[in-house]
Structure 1
Amino acid sequence: MTIKPTFPDATPFPLETAELAFLADVRDGLSRPQKALSPKYFYDAAGSALFEEITRLPEYYPTRTEIGILDRSGPEIAALLPTQAALVEFGSGSTVKLRRLLEHLDTLAAYVPVDVSGEFLRAQAEALSGDFPSLRVEPVVADFTRDFDLPGSLDGLPRAGFFPGSTIGNFEPAEAEDLLRRFGRILGQGAHMIVGVDLVKDPATLETAYDDDAGVTAAFNLNLLSRINRELAGRFDPAAFAHRAVFNSQASRIEMHLVAREEQAVLIGSDTFTFAAGETIHTESSYKYTAATFRALAERAGWTWLTVWTDPEALFSVHALRLD
């Protein structure tokens, strides 16, 4: 197998395109009656590092619970995937969960981490290649919410997708269906998918997980304003906003908001956006599913549902899908 220690040929996501898309999304989101920013913009280098810190917090159960499922059910998961497959991880971030699966994926031909944060992606890919020198690693810098091409070197290999962490919950249900359809187009007919899905549970557990005592999630949320300042000539004062997390039981989702502490106007490039005291920017929704409701969603998106694994307390779930 090919070893790639430096990844000079990682597929680039053009910087100009990224900046223009970011600016367009910010303008659109802050012009709505309910101001909103897409959670995909959390993950610059600073945001990615903060999220990794969040995953280690005692309040944040999803990461350790999902890792527990992968550890216990890894042999069953591996048995469902085709041999000599290319495993594509959408929004890869760190490789913590992938490493747990690799213990069971002896026949994996290639690993393709996909992420918008190119610097962080390459660092993780290089570290993984150093630890697993026989594994072919093909990083792709891309926004997985848009269509992109996989490296041509994967032609002829069976494909599998990996989408852990309940990132699927960050999308409105109709958008989540569209995303699964997009993954199907990218991976192709016959592909498999392993998807992490957070489950419905008591609101107190959910709200605590998204508003920790140490304030790391608050810093993660507020970093989005700092990123706008850094990349889009924004003039946000992050101290003028507060973090809020609340469970919307009617929609079955956690909502994260940034709340204006006072009336203010913010310049972003040549645009000015005004905020009333108490007005919020909706930065993230995290939908919670039952096993049955996620199965129905996946099947509407064209996937065949195969099975699900959960932890003993039924906090989290990992689903296996196939595109027939």
Structure 2
Amino acid sequence: MNAPLPHLAHEPARLDRTFLQDVIGGLSAPKKHLSAKYFYDRRGSELFEAITRLPEYYPTRTELAILDRYGPEIAAGLAPGSALVEFGSGSTAKVRRLLPHLSDLAAYVPVDVSEEFLRSEAEELGRDFPRLQVEPVAADFTKPFGLPEDLRDAPKAGFFPGSTIGNFEPELAAGLLASFARTLGTGTGAGTGATLIVGIDLVKEKAVLDAAYDDAAGVTAAFNLNLLTRINRELGADFDLDAFAHQAFFDENLGRIEMHLVSRRNQLVTVAGVPFHFGSGETIHTENSYKYTVPGFRALARGAGWEHARVWTDPDGLFSVHALTANTIRRH
């Protein structure tokens, strides 16, 4: 249960109180932090798509190459007549690599919190694949949500590309994978054999990882700072974007990229009238991106109720795509 919000001197119109709750809670913590899920308003989604095209950002092009090369093998592991559920779908660029090999899909179900972007992408995909039934669901995939009722009896397959699982602490990542198993396992037709295709970024040299999250063109910096722009717009805050700097680095001990917004000076910021002090050099921790070895991710998935079926990697070992099958004995 959420704690009550403090008295607000200024409450913006059409306030998203959950967003406000999370922002105030994160900025009130001893080490200030914000949830990465709030990056993805429309502008944030557009900036992330721009990041995926940067020369330093290898994950997207490498994963796409794996999907292009091994698409028929990946698709062959899905049960005939499956409903393909993409968690945190964003752009449809990756699922488009699989759809030509999935002529017998019952439906494609993109799930994303950014409703406007979701609808736009779903409509465009429907035009490009007119025989495909597209049923978008606007939802936060980290919380329980329902799938379309007309698909309850179809076998379910999940698609979770982009190494998004790396944004979660390992314990939370395991919980999310277990939640996916429950979502995909609902309905009489999906009692066994539910499948999950998931992209996982692999551990590699620190210099490669640092550059991927702090590009020379500053697009990732703009993406990070856009979170403050969104808070200003939607929650009546007064962040001065010029007073914060983007910071990203790979922590080799924790096996993760960390992204922060660093205060350039001592300053006071208000969010819906609630004041927050920032010291010079103090940071807001905005994102983690954990990197895994293949055996390490296999163990994580097994603990969450999934059996490892196949793995595909690029020749340089930068990225991996895993096929998992639900363990119906261990899944609750």
Letter in 2 for 1:287: Y
Q: How does 1:3-82 map to 2 (within 5 A)?
A: 19-82=16-79
Determine whether 1:322 maps to 2:325: yes
Quick one: percent identity of the two aligned structures? Answer: 65
Matched, 1:143 2:146: no
Match of 1:152 among 139, 149, 153: 149
Structure 2 residue identity aligned to 1:79: A
Question: Which of 221, 241, 244 is the aligned partner of 1:238?
Answer: 241
Q: Structure 2: any 5+ residue segments left out of the alignment?
A: 1-12, 186-190, 328-332
Distance 1:54 1:40 in 2: 16
**Residue 238 and residue 71 in structure 1: after superposition, are their counterparts in 2 closer, same or farther (change >3 A)?**
same
The one-letter code matched in structure 2 to 1:311 is: D
Partners of 1:213 and 1:62 in 2: how far apart? 17
* Residues 1:167 and 2:170 are matched in the alignment: no
Equivalent position of 1:129 in the other structure: 126
Asked whether the equivalents of residues 237 and 273 of structure 2 are also in contact (C-alpha less than 8 Å), the reply is no
Q: CA RMSD in A?
A: 1.2
The alignment partner of 2:16 has SS state of helix
Q: 1:208 aligns with which of 208, 211, 222?
A: 211
Partner of 1:310: 313
How far the C-alpha of 1:270 sits from its partner, in A, is 2.7
Distance 1:152 1:178 in 2: 25
Q: Select the residue among 251, 260, 263 that pairs with 1:260.
A: 263
Gaps of 5+ in 1: 1-15
| Amino acid corresponding to residue 316 of structure 1 in structure 2 | F
Shift of 1:318: 0.4
Q: Which among 183, 190, 195 is matched to residue 180 of structure 2?
A: 183
DSSP 3-state at the match of 1:136: coil
Structure 1 letter corresponding to 2:64? I
Q: Shift of residue 18 of structure 1? A: 8.5
Does structure 1 residue 277 correspond to structure 2 residue 274? Answer: no
The alpha-carbon deviation at position 19 of structure 1 amounts to 1.3
Rounded to whole Å, the distance in 1 between the matches of 2:153 and 2:140 is 24
- State the number of aligned residues: 309
What SS is found at the alignment partner of 1:138? Answer: coil
Aligned equivalents of 2:159, 2:128: Cα separation in 1: 20
Q: In structure 2, what residue type is equivalent to 1:243?
A: H
Q: Which stretch of structure 1 is more off in the superposition, 23-32 or 313-322?
A: 23-32
